Amino acid sequence: MKIFNYSSKKANSVENFKKISKINHTNSTTIYKAQCKSTKKYFALKKLNKSLCLDNNGFSILYIREIKILNSIKHPNLLKIKEVTVGNNMCDIFIVSEILHTDLKSLLDKYNSYRNSVSINNLDSVISDSSYKSKFSNETDSILSDNMKNDTHIITENTNYDNTDLNLPIEVCKGVLIQILKGLDYLHSKKILHRDLKTSNILVSKSGKIKIGDFGLSRYYKEEMTNLIVTLWYRPPEILLGAQKYSYSVDIWSFGCIFGEIVSNSVLFKGESEVDQLYKIFNGLGFPNEGDFTDAPYFCNFICLPSYGKENIFKKFCKNEEEVISKLLIFNPCHRPQAKEVLADSYFQDVNDVGLIRNFL
């Protein structure tokens, strides 16, 4: 299978790039910020783990699949690949892609850190505080001020204000979510499952452009696939229960978790193991019906466990949000909406500027 699908017959050398700093490291990859020596432009340089590049059949199918998918997609809300380069030998493989300013997880962590440093003892002083205002543009100040006074997502009705209620303005959240949905809709239209949607894989440019990244677990749809997918907190229950037949609905569940996280400023289901993750899902949403998971072999193991549904996660959301997220996090994967159907929901129809997140970088 041809993986170096570029104009030259031979892949370029990684020596054409100067590594500036390490961005991230996992067991399978290391990502660097790098500069092209000839153009002086900056890129992300993703080094594939040498020990995982080869298997008994030659070059790893996982890496072939990732490169093939990256070469086949072109959408403003998906990470754009530049080329594939090699090091001193063919086992040193690097994926060169555009580099963005940050990712959604880092942005939320940074915002939460600042938010937690703000005293909410007096709401008016928070809104007028000069150091607070200096963090954001005038446009965002106006949004924050209006939402802090009127929106239940920003300040609760309780007079004892808590800084954990100082969430991102809902207009900002909607803009991010719309862009994720557009990228997801495109992927699904190409019969591609991402299979690892999470906030750290949602990239953010300085202009507020949102792009889905990290296609290491992505693959084209087929009848039966592995269930060793999706980071735990964003993994749908059917996968946790052992299903190997699944579809695009796994990405919709993960998107629902991202939706809840960005709007409520907290991870919805923060399990410490697969069993604990299921417990937290059932405790937050109630127990599913037996017919919800017909292809999940481990579901029968949970029927006799203690009662669930003691913590209703929908209490975190207003009515409009609850209506949307309850569709995304429905147990039966066959009943989850498609990305294009979620985009068409009235909840997302009043957004004039999807890039307001730029004011929080």
Which neighbouring-strand residues pair with 94? 47, 85
Average pLDDT for 34-61: 78
What count of other Cβ atoms lies within 10 Å of the Cβ of residue 142? 12
Cβ-proximal residues to 331 (8 Å cutoff; 6+ apart), any chain: 237, 285, 288, 289, 292, 293
Residue located via tokens 């298997």:
55
Question: Running DSSP on this structure, what letter comes out for residue 168?
Answer: P
Residues 223, 318 share a domain: yes
Written as six digits, the tokens of 179 are 């862009």
156 vs 28, higher pLDDT: 28
The number of folded domains in the chain is 2
Residues 197, 68 share a domain: no
237 vs 113, higher pLDDT: 237
The overall average pLDDT reported for the chain is 80
- Residue 202, pLDDT > 60, answer yes
Supply the residues annotated as catalytic.
196
207 vs 313, higher pLDDT: 207
Rounded-to-integer distance, Cα 236 and Cα 230, Å = 8
Least confident of 17-21, 35-39, 293-297: 293-297
Domain of residue 336, CATH code: 1.10.510.10
Q: Can you say how many angstroms the Cα of residue 236 is from the centroid of all Cα atoms in its chain? A: 14
Residues 174, 307 share a domain: yes
Rounded-to-integer distance, Cα 121 and Cα 162, Å = 8
pLDDT range class, residue 287, cuts 50, 70, 90: confident
Query: Is 133 within a domain?
Result: no
Tell me which of 97, 114, 148 is where a domain ends: 97
- Residue 53, pLDDT > 80, answer no
Whole-model pTM over 0.75:
yes
pLDDT per residue as tens digits for the range 131-188:
444 444 444 444 433 443 333 333 223 333 333 456 889 999 999 999 999 999 999 9
Residues 93, 183 share a domain: no
| Residue 224 burial by Cβ neighbours in a 10 Å radius (0-12, 13-18, 19+) | exposed
Query: Is 325 within a domain?
Result: yes
pLDDT range class, residue 242, cuts 50, 70, 90: confident
Q: Nearest CA to 25 among 1, 61, 49, 5?
A: 49
Least confident of 7-16, 210-219, 280-289, 333-342: 7-16
Domain that holds residue 25: 12-97
- Residue 224, pLDDT > 70, answer no
Check residue 19 and give its pLDDT: 92
Query: Is 334 within a domain?
Result: yes
Contact 47, 94 (CB under 8 A): yes
